[in-house]
Chains A and B, each alone.
Chain A
Amino acid sequence: MSEALLTIANLRAGYGAVPVLFDVDLTVGRGEIVALVGSNGAGKTTLLRAVSRVIKSAEGTLRFDGDDLLPLAPEAAFTRGLVQVPEGRQLFGKMTVEENLSMGAFRRTDKAGVAESFERVYALFPRLKERRRQLAGNMSGGEQQMCAMGRALMAAPKLLLIDEMSLGLAPVVVDQLLEVLTDIRSQGVTVLLVEQDVFAAFSVADRGYVMETGKIVGQGPIAELQNDPAVREAYLGA
């Protein structure tokens, strides 16, 4: 593994007095694609919310690109390059694709950089370029997911946190999006992919973590995880 971009150690977090995460350890190296898998309710989204600092109360270690994340507000984490593609896409449905992408760059002031990001996003997703004048809410689920990912890339992320990218999408569309993930990585963006679809996540990731009831119960390179009997039985149906 390369130098760590995101380090989570002994992280405990939850909602009010209800603990959800118990001593979670997870590391994402620079340039990696890391998959975090687990069934519904395992605590994956809670972990994302803790990392992006939406959940205020959290204990343990949370470091990103050299900074301690724990004392930061969500906006501060965002401007440091920790960008989310939220579950359910959360597009601005009555705005055009282009306007949605612009909103990703809302906090950026470097005009030339933003123009370059537009070029890159349109190169990654030619479909978005074709549809740039269309209202985001009128597109298919796959196109909306592309738009959500494009919008996140417009924020010039160092680490992209993608929550349930495959949810509700046809397998062929999921495959296209997975291919784009490797392109995104080759442009220097690190990816943490949070998925219920273990097959999809493992097909593209370098390493994986398996989460159950708020704990990490398995981790390692994908090849190892795929041969782990417990993981095979629980998630890969073999």
Chain B
Amino acid sequence: MLLAQILTNGVLLGGLYGLMALGMALVWGVLNIVNLAHGAMIMLGGYAVYFLFTGAGIDPFLALPIAIVGMFAFGYLLQRFVLNLIVRSAMLNTLLITFGLNVVITYLAQLAFSADFRTINPSYAGSNVVVGGITVPLVNLAAFVIALVLAGAVWLLLNKLALGRAIRATAQNLVAARLYGVDPRQLYAVTFGIGAALAGAAGGLYGTIAHLTPYIGASLTAKSFVIAIIGGLANPFGVILGGIFVGVAESLTALYAGPTYSDVISFGLLVVVLIVRPARSLRAA
């Protein structure tokens, strides 16, 4: 029974992990940018929902769409006016600039929000349902469901809408996409905006189940990176599955080795992944 409980926790958390990685995988697959500021954008989304809740009294789950729209605008403008300048350059350049962004965003956040721990704590934060002896925290369940819904939305966008078709076409053959009237600068900005919006959603949900500080970005970036590689860049549901894999692995580690070691798993996986499949389908979207 304990094992079933731990597995449930792992799956629910893993869905959220998958959502964190989804935006990174999308940007990686289409723009060939490994966005090292992705975790910092998750953090920003978390604070956006936090302040909408504590400052304006908006329920966190209603604040989520606002954070999503705000982070889309942030990502769109960032790509349009900054990252588009270097998008076709070598991977090292994009890594350096997104690393720099991560530092800038993190320390601006520290200035603006202070380094205090924050949690988004609505009245129903501790509510559970018990199903067959397994306790399911409502907030975690909601986060899991929203992660699945957003993954479904990304799948629909990529496979059923003209915009998504253009996004995939540009990832597969930039020359041909331009030839048939796709403006890559605009398309990259929209794609990065969607990646940032997904990060924002993940951050808002993360804040309801864990602490927010300005420094959570780096470890969430690393986690997203591992999951994006495990899950692949092509299919949003693959990324969610990758997240569930990492979530379950972390929960099992916490159970059998102690909670201190759960981070060892995700970073251990990072090392293993880099050794075993360093270049896996990097442009497979």
Could you list which residues of chain A lie within 8 angstroms of chain B, going by C-beta atoms? 74-75, 78-79, 84, 86, 90-95, 99, 102-104, 106-107, 151, 155
Contact = CB atoms under 8 A, between A and B. Distances in A.
B13 to A, nearest CB: 32
Q: In the complex, which of the residues B165, B168, B172, B175 has the most CB atoms of chain A within 10 Å of its own CB atom?
A: B172
Interface in B154-183: 162, 165-166, 168-169, 172-173, 175-183
Contacts of B176: 86, 90-92, 103
A92 B166 CA distance: 10
A143 to B, nearest CB: 17
Contact of A75 (B168, B172, B173, B183): B183
Contacts of B177: 92, 103
A84 B176 CA distance: 10
The 7 closest A-B pairs by CB, nearest first: A107-B181, A90-B176, A92-B172, A92-B169, A103-B169, A106-B181, A78-B181
Given A103-B165, A106-B169, 5 more contacts: A86-B175, A90-B179, A92-B169, A106-B182, A107-B181
A1 B147 CA distance: 63
Given A92-B168, A95-B165, A103-B165, A86 B179 contact: yes
Interface string B128-164: 0000000000000000000000000000000000100
Interface in B166-207: 166, 168-169, 172-173, 175-183
A106 B166 contact: yes
A106 B178 CA distance: 11
B168 A95 contact: yes
Contacts of B162: 102, 106
14 contacts: A78-B179, A79-B181, A86-B176, A86-B179, A91-B173, A92-B176, A94-B284, A95-B165, A99-B169, A102-B165, A106-B165, A106-B169, A151-B180, A155-B181
Contacts of A92: 168-169, 172-173, 176-177
Contacts of B169: 92, 95, 99, 103, 106
Interface in B210-269: none
> Interface residues of B: mostly helix, strand, loop or mixed?
helix
A210 B178 CA distance: 29
A92 B176 CA distance: 8
A93 B180 CA distance: 15
B180 A78 contact: yes
A72 to B, nearest CB: 13
Q: In the complex, which of the residues B165, B176, B177, B178 has the most CB atoms of chain A within 10 Å of its own CB atom?
A: B176
Interface in B31-82: none
Q: In the complex, which of the residues A74, A90, A102 has the most CB atoms of chain B within 10 Å of its own CB atom?
A: A90
Nearest to B176: A90
A107 B165 CA distance: 12
Nearest to B284: A94
Given A99-B165, A102-B162, A102-B165, A107 B180 contact: yes
Nearest to B172: A92
B175 A103 contact: no
A171 B165 CA distance: 34
A234 to B, nearest CB: 31
Contacts of A75: 181, 183
A74 B178 CA distance: 9
Nearest to B234: A94
A93 B165 contact: no
B81 to A, nearest CB: 20
Nearest to B283: A94
Contacts of A99: 165, 169
Contacts of A151: 180
A29 to B, nearest CB: 25
Nearest to A107: B181
A74 B180 CA distance: 10
A103 B180 contact: yes
Q: In the complex, which of the residues B169, B178, B179, B284 has the most CB atoms of chain A within 10 Å of its own CB atom?
A: B179
Contacts of B182: 103, 106
A150 B188 CA distance: 27
A52 to B, nearest CB: 8
B189 to A, nearest CB: 16
